[in-house]
Amino acid sequence: MKLISSSFLGLFYVSILISSASAQITTDGSTNTNLTPTDNGVRIDEGDRAGGNLFHSFGEFSVPNGSEAFFNNASDIANIFSRVTGGNISNINGLIRANGAANLFLINPAGIVFGEGARLQLGGSFYGSTADSIVFPDGEFSATDLDNPPLITINAPIGLGFRDEPQPIINDSVADNLGLQINAGETIGLIGGEIAIRGNGVTPEEGNINNITAQGAKVWLGGLAEAGTVNLDENLNPRMDDNVARANVSFSNGARVDVADAGAGEIQVIGNDITLTEASQLLGGIAEGLGTTEATAGDVTLNATGAVNLSGESRIENRVNVGATGNSGNINVTAESLSITDGSVFSASTFGTGNAGSVRLNIAGEANLTSSNIFSNVESGAVGNAGNIFVTANSLSLSDDSFFIAGTFGQGNPGSITIDVTEAVTLSNDGDILSRVGENAVTEPESSGNISINAGSLTIADGISSINTSTSGQGNAGNVKLNISGEANLIDGNIFSNVESGAEGNGGNITIEAGSLSLEDGAQLQTSVRAEDEERPGGRGNGGNISIDVEEDLLLSGIDEDGFASGILSQSQRGTVGNAGSIEINSQNLNLEDGGIISSSALGQGNAGSIQVEATESVNIEGFTIFDEDTTRTSTIETELRSIAVGDTGEIEITANSLSLSDGGEINSSTFGQGNAGNVRLNISGEANLIDGNIFSNVESGAEGNGGNITIEAGSLSLEDGAQLQTSVRAEDEERPGGRGNGGSISIDVEEDLLLSGIGEDGFASGILSQSQRGTVGNAGEIEITTGNLTLTDGGRVSASTSGTGNAGLVTINASQNVSAAGENSQGNVSGIFSNVSRNAVGNAGGIEITTAKLSLTGGGEVVTATFGNGDAGNLTVIASEYIELVGSGEEVPSGLFASSIESDGNGGDLIIATDKLIVRDEAVITVGNFQQVVGSREPLPPGTGAAGNLEINAGSVEVSNRGTITADNASGIGGELTLKADSLTLENQASVSASTTADRGQGGIITLDIDDTLIMRNSSLISARAESGANGGNINIDAEFIIAFPSNGDGNDILASAEQGQGGNITFTADSVFNMRFRRATPGNRTNDIDVSSEFPSEEFGEASFVSLGLSQPEPLATETITTSNICSVAESPEDTTNLVVRGKGGITPAPSEPFNADALITDELSNVSQTKQPVGAIPELSLQNGNNDNLEPNPNYIPPHIKPVAYEDNGEPVYIARGVIKTEDGNVILTAYPTKNNATRTPTDAANCH
């Protein structure tokens, strides 16, 4: 039966106004109902009774304004069932009342309107409905089926039955500012088609005017859009099945439903679309000043098959109000979609004493908040715990200052927020999800509010949008856990779990699992302990940990408008007490760009945390952003101990397939405060490329502590354009003293190539550095490199040096293939490997050990362990299985190997070389001396004053040419000991081997040349242990099969142990043959090959030259005593200048150039010394020793037998003949001849024509 032509609400209301003018109550005669007019309205008596049930049937039922409908039931009646069958709307604008505690059911299928004056005065519950019937187990009491007698039953109803197009119920009641009122513990139910609750437009600020007041009672609002049944349970609570079509429920124009009381108040709204507009309110909870500690408010529940929409500052509250005691109920929303806009609010907070309620949103589709909020807080002054917020939706959006908050600002714990969204969660323009401990809050120990989000994607953007579980009071921050199956994008948005300024407690953890994650334009993840400010001290507590697991890419890029960099941060900031948390990242690719930062640093009293990164593909750290002239944000992974901090720095560990640091990108685990720097460990299976990028673990200026270690394992490693690895103790500056502590070690293990090359824009060279710099106190760390190839070019360097007070570190290099250093950069920095003590430093150099197949130093490339300060140079050991090649020079310094003391009173280091082939050419140098080796116009630094080190070379072949030098020279004291063992040694084109000294006292060094085959000298080459000033000449020992000196221009090829003012040194030859050398003073430009043990100062101090020839035969029995020979080639010079010539070995020559052989001149196997008679220094005959079996002597070298042509060359215009044979005269004298002789030949000796 169709009772009204339209259910459109506006048209319906017009019809109500028309019909209300003839409002009346009539019976339809189907029940024994009596109506009696009264002064106030109508009294309703009798009816049909069945047990505790009373039935009335009306034709019409309307109550005008100011009148009443009084159900005069017996006091023992439990339920009054009344129906309106006439087909007209019931307009209730007056009072409906009944006796006792009876429940009143009023059904009118035509519709019901409660006007502004409508009131209820009932002891029981009220159910107003536009249902067609009241359903019982044994039938129905129908308002539309009038053909049959009405059901009169003792049973309790089980439902309300609706036929097609259920009609609306409208409530405009604001009577007594209370509207429809029901007693506590009872129920008011409006069950129709559409339900419209309409206020009178009064805003909350203007006063509280209710449409329904059910303090401590239940309000049930809802209806059906088509035929169906609303069920009633045994307590007469309506229940609506999910499969029925629901009608809309609306609250407008300041509508207000209030069930707040001492507890138990409950609101349920069931419909299709549920709408609150124009500051409408649904209010539950514990009312102000009421309640007990056991009291609990009921829930506010909205269940919509369509949308739930709140706008215009509408509110749904379930609160413990100010002065109230008890626990708040929950707010539950189930809908297809949710929209909360224009300042609207859900609040389940506590302002009194008791716990806040939870907010549960179960949204099948979109949930959107715009300029609106959902609270479940412990507000300021309250005591209790915050509730939780649960959201399930297809998507969730919070924008324009919208937020979820389950925090505490009083005494109590914050609540948790759990969000489970199928698709996107979007926070924009200051959209926030918060579970905070407020500034004055106090929580229980170990308690915190957590935020958990599961979503398909997450976006936090446009302003200061955030997810925040921080603490600003006394209590712990909560944890944040995000599980995002797709992209998580933070664009100028944040996720915080901090210990804020003034707070005491620990930061929470942030855990993110996502398909990809990007932080851009200043976005941050942060679990920091925040800094002190003007009003509050720094936080007290430990920062939380951050864990990120991303299937694909993790990006951090850029800064925001305030200069804050995009970052993942767990810092204990300035003025705080507590440790920073750790950061753990797993991703496919990690990219930090334009100032992006990952930091677990300490600026207060506490330790920095550790950072662990694992990327299945790449880690890229690149670039910087300039914010203003004072602020530049550099892309960085750091775990630092900052200035004024007290604690230790954490460690950084990165595992990836490839690593790239470029354009200023950094990895930094340094200390600027009082504490140790952390270790950095990189495990890179492929390429690691640093291009103007740096890895630091330093003790910075002003810091006190030890540097951390840097350990790198990689397939290949390159440092270019000023890139550096550094574990240094940094220098003093204008404001801070130098660091105090030891530098960390650097360990590099690279399977293939390690390249260091170039300088950056700031002029710093690419390098691997562990340095103790100027003004510091502490040792530099060690450097250990294992690689296939080590290449240093364009100023690239490896250095473990000291410029302060402390020792330099040891450098150890193991390269399976090649080590090369070549050239210098535009700043004049040469490429090389260094372990030095710098000028004014106090400490020892650490030394260098290199093991490789090939070593190549060219264009000024150097390997140096030197001292320029107060301390000793270190030892240098080079083992190259194939060759060592030292070639050329830079603009000011030569290529070479150095273990020197320069401008220092320290000692030079020892230098040990082992290789199959050694090449030193084109001004290259090997030195343990204390003279600085320079080239070009550069003035060398003053020489050192300490002892030179020892130099030991073991090689297959040694080639020194084109001013190449091997030296153990010394400026003070004793020259170094130079030992060279090789198959062959070639000195060519002004090459030199030297162990000289320029000291006033002391002596030149010792040179030992142990050559299995041939020593060759060409073109003014030099072997020297000469002494300048007052020092004595050094000693030279040469053991070779052949010693060959080729004709030379210039200074000639010389072997010197001479002295300037002291005693000449000793020269010992052990050889089969010495070719083309002359025993005489070596003077510049004489073009002769000289052996010189002379002293330029006229004194009695002379050296010795000893010859041991291993191959000459022994014609006579061995002599056992020293014999003085007679003249064979006297020297017609002044007897004042004298020297010594000691001859040892097989075969005989005169013991002195002025004496001939005599009969007693015999040779012994014991190589005993012959007479050491002093003779005048002058034109000493040339000595040539050659193997032979001759026992005949020819005293005249001008005699040329007819069968042989003597070998001769010009020396100062005179012919000089090489000894080719030996003869013995009848009186026993032995004479060398210029032609081969036979053992049985006898010749008469004559003086040589050139001996006068």
What percent of the chain has a predicted confidence (pLDDT) above 70? 84
Q: Are 155 and 254 in contact (CB under 8 A)?
A: no
* pLDDT (0 to 100) of residue 932: 67
**Is 1218's pLDDT higher than 80?**
no
- As a residue count, the chain comes to 1252
C-alpha 1049/C-alpha 524 separation (Å) is: 76
Using DSSP's 3-state secondary structure scheme, residue 148 falls into: coil
- Which pLDDT belongs to residue 1192? 32
Name the pTM for this structure: 0.80
**Helix/strand/coil percentages in the chain, nearest 5:** 0, 45, 50
Structure confidence at residue 868 as a pLDDT band (50, 70, 90): confident
Distance, in Å, from the CA atom of 334 to the CA atom of 8, rounded to the nearest integer, reads 25
Q: What's the average model confidence in pLDDT over 165-171?
A: 96
660 dihedral zone (left: phi>0; alpha: psi -120 to 50; beta) = beta
How far separated are the first and last CA of the chain, in Å rounded?
161
Would you state the pLDDT for residue 204?
65
Domain boundaries, the chain: 31-133+144-156, 989-1103
Both tokens assigned to 863:
């390997």
Provide the pLDDT for residue 922. Answer: 95
The pLDDT assigned to 891 comes to 86
Q: Could you read off the pLDDT of 1130-1187 as tens digits, one per residue?
A: 333 333 343 344 444 444 444 444 444 443 433 333 333 333 333 333 323 333 333 3
Look at residue 1029 and tell me whether its pLDDT is greater than 80: no
pLDDT digits (tens, 9 = 90+) for 479-496: 999 999 999 999 999 999
Please list the residues that pair with 369 across neighbouring strands.
Answer: 340, 398
User: Hey, what's the torsion of the CAs at 1243, 1244, 1247, 1248, to 10 degrees?
Assistant: -20
What is the amino acid identity at position 891?
E
Q: Which residue has the higher pLDDT, 516 or 1192?
A: 516
Residue 581 clears pLDDT 60, i.e. is over it:
yes
Q: What are phi and psi of 388, to 5 degrees?
A: -105, 160
Q: Which residues contact 241 (CB under 8 A, 6 or more apart)?
A: 228, 229, 231
Q: Tell me the CA distances in angstroms from 292 to 77, 354, 355, one per residue in order.
A: 33, 9, 12
Architecture of domain 31-133+144-156: 3 Solenoid (2.160)
More confident residue, 974 or 276: 276
Q: Which of 399, 396, 401, 400 is nearest to 417 (CA)?
A: 396
Residue 724 carries which side chain, given as an amino acid letter?
A: Q
Higher pLDDT, residue 399 or 204: 399
Percent of the residues in the chain that have a pLDDT greater than 90, as a whole number: 61
Containing 632, the helix (H) or strand (E) segment is strand 631-634
CB contact at 8 A, 1063 and 1032 = yes
Do 840 and 867 touch, CB atoms closer than 8 A?
A: no
755, 797 Cβ separation under 8 angstroms: no
Q: What is the mean pLDDT of residues 865-875?
A: 87
Mean pLDDT value across residues 806-834: 91
What are the structure tokens assigned to 366, written together? 């979109």
Per residue in 57-106, pLDDT tens? 999 999 999 999 999 999 999 999 999 999 999 999 999 999 999 999 99
Separation of alpha carbons 280 and 299, rounded Å: 18
With contact defined as beta carbons under 8 Å apart, do 206 and 131 qualify?
Answer: no
- Widest Cα–Cα separation across the chain: 183
Of 1162, 1143, 1221, nearest to 1188 (Cα)?
A: 1221
Residue 651 CB-half CA count within 13 A: 11
- What is the 8-class DSSP label of residue 12? H
Give CA–CA dist 407/413, Å, rounded: 7
CA distance 1100 to 655: 73
For 597, the token pair is 């930062």
At residue 486, what are phi and psi to the nearest 5 degrees? -115, -130
Distance CA 680, CA 676 (A): 13
Least confident of 193-202, 290-299, 630-639, 1125-1134: 1125-1134
Confidence band (pLDDT; 50, 70, 90) for 629? confident
Complete DSSP assignment for 502-517? T-BSPPPPEEEEEEEE
* Region 560-575 average pLDDT: 90
Strand partners, 373: 345, 403
The secondary element (H helix, E strand) that includes residue 956 is strand 951-961
Q: Is 10 helix (H, G, I), strand (E, B) or coil?
A: helix
Check residue 1137 and give its pLDDT: 40
Range of lowest pLDDT (439-443, 738-742, 1090-1094, 1166-1170)? 1166-1170
Binned at pLDDT 50, 70 and 90, residue 1057 comes out as confident
Average pLDDT across the chain, whole number:
84
Give the Cα separation of 1152 and 1130 in Å (integer): 9
User: Range with the lowest mean pLDDT among 619-633, 1108-1122, 1204-1218?
Assistant: 1108-1122
Per-residue pLDDT band for 1027 (boundaries 50, 70, 90) equals: confident
Burial of 164 (0-12, 13-18, 19+ CB in 10 A): exposed
* pLDDT on residue 783: 94
Give me the pLDDT at residue 1142, please.
42
Strand pairing of 1022-1024 and 1054-1056?
parallel
DSSP E strands, 1118-1165? 1138-1139, 1142-1145
CA distance 892 to 936: 6
pLDDT for 218-268, tens place per residue?
999 999 999 999 999 999 999 998 889 999 999 999 999 999 999 889 999
> Would you place residue 443 in the very low, low, confident or very high pLDDT band (cuts 50, 70, 90)?
confident
Q: DSSP letter string over 726-781?
A: E--BPPP-SSSPPPBSPPPPEEEEESSEEEEE-B-TTSPBPEEE--B-TT-BSPPP
Residue 1107 has a pLDDT of: 63
Strands 256-258 and 389-393: unpaired
pLDDT at 1228 exceeding the cut of 90: no
